[in-house]
Structure 1
């Protein structure tokens, strides 16, 4: 019998609770269910498509604010028939494979999206699920030791550390349990005074065990809530019954094992997906493609003021006869900043501003840069050819520049069969003529360029996507990007791989400013004709590029600084940029070392408040454990 057939016969049903749209593995054993559907419907919100809903049949859906994912558990108990009942969350699943995966210090495997690769990696399919589940009585997440979290003495101490959970409520639950089931007192004492427990309310049980557990659990919670004053409870405190059920599950299993059930209990790792939401690919605009100019940028949340300045300058000088598809490649720009950007740029009726999350495209690649002023976002241009399959040609611009001319003129440049349209890099070429010969050696031996004087600057690119796709796939581009030894990272890679397939643009389309006196210290080492073209372009620049460290938002006296501030001062982020001038850095919104909804996070907030030295030390320590920087 094949494993998939076995899964059908055993009727394994793993209900995946969700309160927001998400991507779910597509297999018969996994059944997504919207929790709190009754409240959503009462609020006039549409229910999720292609999922079960916890407000049908015999249900307690309206109790979801208190019971959390238990409303799905109750629904399954009353309305579903299976041989095995399991419960996961839209962002947390069991790892059904036999492979031991690296996990963080809080017992979670951290991954990004649910896709074909991760489904295979963690066995989120019928065959792997059947193989992992059949023959076991109960499956839970691993037993975590709360001493290893933050030195908690026991589970009661662990509970009390949460600012939203009251110790009196835990005691109330204990009293209810002991009154209803006196024989459980010994096990409740052992669990609550102990240090180990399975968290996350994730489990899989055989039918008879699941029915016994629900018949035991829900009356206890019903009795608890009947005498629980939660009239002034905040949103998190209101979830107390859900938190209690985590402890009750451990007490239930401890009692059954102590009293001779001898259940075969298995512990499977828990994988936490940080981006389980559906991915919406970009679609072609409903505009005449002959008049559409697609322009792409890459930025993070801290670079929003500069991004907005560059886009504003571009649209301010753009032709009214064309439509501009402005696409920002990003993975952490806040919803608020996205709204601020689109609201501000709505003044340009001939432009559409869109955002594209690159997280999935770069997932699994270790991308680093060798220069402090070059960010990871620089690699995003490599995914354009796949992200925009409906475009044959696009423009890409860095965000540390202002556009002083009509960008449609640049877009209309005929690239022929060449992959790239770009301006020669006067800085790199000037270095080629230095006596020490270091840059010439680098171009020859690291970049393997036969004509290094053709090296171009990649801050302004006209990209022939069809030709780029012929040269490399996105995966191949990113694999090359992981290789060490590059000085200018993606720019070096583009020059190395696109040599001989470049249309050279007039210098006016990428006038690099005089950073650190390089015009007459580096640029003037370039061949005379090149240097003269550059100097001529400074008189009437169509794009000024503030490349390198001397930025106008750090030094308003820098070369072309007044031109930059002429545009920057008009944006809603001008005060933020002025704060940068005053040396006030923006808050650092790193990826959370501890997930927002992690069962551990609330205790960390007490012991190491946000902004404290302890908090910063903890974040460093946790990221080291997670293998992050």
Structure 2
């Protein structure tokens, strides 16, 4: 696969329907294991909501306990303009997934594909993964001008990085014969703006389901891959501030040239100024899981723990979790500091790096 520059994007501003025309509709899809991080997402969304707009938040689930639903309701309490509603996984989704291998993903990942029929009275909807934190008003995302496209999304930076490096991911090689003719257009499906009316007109839901039924074995990221094939070159690129999830490697050869004139230009400034509007904690190293001595974990922890501790409904549980994480970090720090004088060469340098990471992590936990 040859490397080429990214096609030009739309302007990096979000504009669209005038405020107040319709409720800001946002969809989530979770199992019970994700309710804690979803509570943080919901609270961050509510706390940045405009008092001049109404917000209709939907949680599609596979059978949440009442206590989980009440905890999520508590996360948005105090915001009368924010309504939280629940919907169980529809029978058609269960039937579609019967005996289907979805690998490490929950079957609920497919729920976003069914949004046009799940929400028939909505003309537009935002979909968000549960491992996101908002730092701006979701109405800005909901109002995005899609320029006639059926959906808005942000291109996948891990894919971009692999293409520029000349080592395209195996996933891309498998998708190209299925219709991904230009992998530079491959997008992340964790943040979407869906024009449900346009999707209904194009019978997108049936096309998506049919594609999954025919090509399930070839899809490493089932819902995301299906969306990328069915809507290839039909997405409206959104500003990357609305799906920020990486430390961009501008020093990589060819990358800076490849992103010129696209929505990725200037991304290093977003990180330096913490100017993201939505932070997406992709990958396995989630900040609410047991701490790790890695740069990726520390960056996510620095973003997540402060808004998490501001979510009143979670404070008792998170305070205990934070105490456990802090104690573990202190023990690790003491252990490495004690062994440092007895380390030499490469081992000494590695231990110093580990100590610096642990000090940063400890500051995050102590300041949360």
TM-score (norm 1): 0.43
Residue 544 (1) aligns with residue 279 (2): yes
Distance verdict in 2 for CA 1:522–1:305, change over 3 Å:
farther
C-alpha deviation, 1:536, in angstroms? 2.9
Contact 2:175 2:218 in 1 (8 A): no
Residue 566 (1) aligns with residue 299 (2): no
* Partner residue, 1:326: 57
Distance verdict in 2 for CA 1:466–1:576, change over 3 Å:
same
* Partner residue, 1:431: 162
RMSD (CA atoms):
2.7
Deviation by residue 1:4-31 (Cα, 9 ceiling, x = unmatched): xxxxxxxxxxxxxxxxxxxxxxxxxxxx
Work out which of the residue numbers 530, 533, 541 in structure 1 matches 2:266. Answer: 533
C-alpha deviation, 1:472, in angstroms? 3.4
* Partner residue, 1:489: 222
**Larger relative contact order (CA 8 Å, sep ≥ 6):** 2
Work out which of the residue numbers 142, 145, 149 in structure 2 matches 1:411. Answer: 142
Q: Distance in 1 between matches of 2:69 and 2:194?
A: 26
Distance verdict in 2 for CA 1:580–1:470, change over 3 Å:
farther
Residue 335 (1) aligns with residue 66 (2): yes
Residue 508 (1) aligns with residue 241 (2): yes
Deviation by residue 1:528-571 (Cα, 9 ceiling, x = unmatched): 42554332332300000001112111248521422311111123
C-alpha deviation, 1:383, in angstroms? 1.5
Distance verdict in 2 for CA 1:560–1:364, change over 3 Å:
closer
Structure showing greater radius of gyration is 1
C-alpha deviation, 1:396, in angstroms? 0.6
Deviation by residue 1:103-145 (Cα, 9 ceiling, x = unmatched): xxxxxxxxxxxxxxxxxxxxxxxxxxxxxxxxxxxxxxxxxxx
C-alpha deviation, 1:293, in angstroms? 0.4
Deviation by residue 1:147-201 (Cα, 9 ceiling, x = unmatched): xxxxxxxxxxxxxxxxxxxxxxxxxxxxxxxxxxxxxxxxxxxxxxxxxxxxxxx
* Partner residue, 1:444: 176
Which 5+ residue runs of structure 1 have no aligned equivalent? 1-287, 584-629
Which 5+ residue runs of structure 2 have no aligned equivalent? 1-18, 326-368
Residue 422 (1) aligns with residue 153 (2): yes
Distance verdict in 2 for CA 1:437–1:462, change over 3 Å:
closer
DSSP 3-state at the match of 2:282? coil
Residue 299 (1) aligns with residue 30 (2): yes
Distance verdict in 2 for CA 1:523–1:319, change over 3 Å:
farther
Distance verdict in 2 for CA 1:376–1:576, change over 3 Å:
farther
Q: Distance in 1 between matches of 2:307 and 2:68?
A: 18
Deviation by residue 1:254-305 (Cα, 9 ceiling, x = unmatched): xxxxxxxxxxxxxxxxxxxxxxxxxxxxxxxxxx971410011111111111
Deviation by residue 1:480-502 (Cα, 9 ceiling, x = unmatched): 33421112221111111111221
Deviation by residue 1:74-94 (Cα, 9 ceiling, x = unmatched): xxxxxxxxxxxxxxxxxxxxx
C-alpha deviation, 1:420, in angstroms? 0.8
DSSP 3-state at the match of 1:450? coil
* Partner residue, 2:79: 348
Distance verdict in 2 for CA 1:501–1:359, change over 3 Å:
same
Distance verdict in 2 for CA 1:521–1:328, change over 3 Å:
farther
Q: Distance in 1 between matches of 2:276 and 2:224?
A: 22
Deviation by residue 1:289-332 (Cα, 9 ceiling, x = unmatched): 71410011111111111111001101111111100001001122
DSSP 3-state at the match of 1:423? strand
Q: Distance in 2 between matches of 1:334 and 1:521?
A: 48
Contact 1:513 1:544 in 2 (8 A): no
Q: Distance in 2 between matches of 1:489 and 1:387?
A: 19
TM-score (norm 2): 0.71
Contact 1:449 1:499 in 2 (8 A): yes
C-alpha deviation, 1:574, in angstroms? 4.2
Contact 2:151 2:235 in 1 (8 A): yes
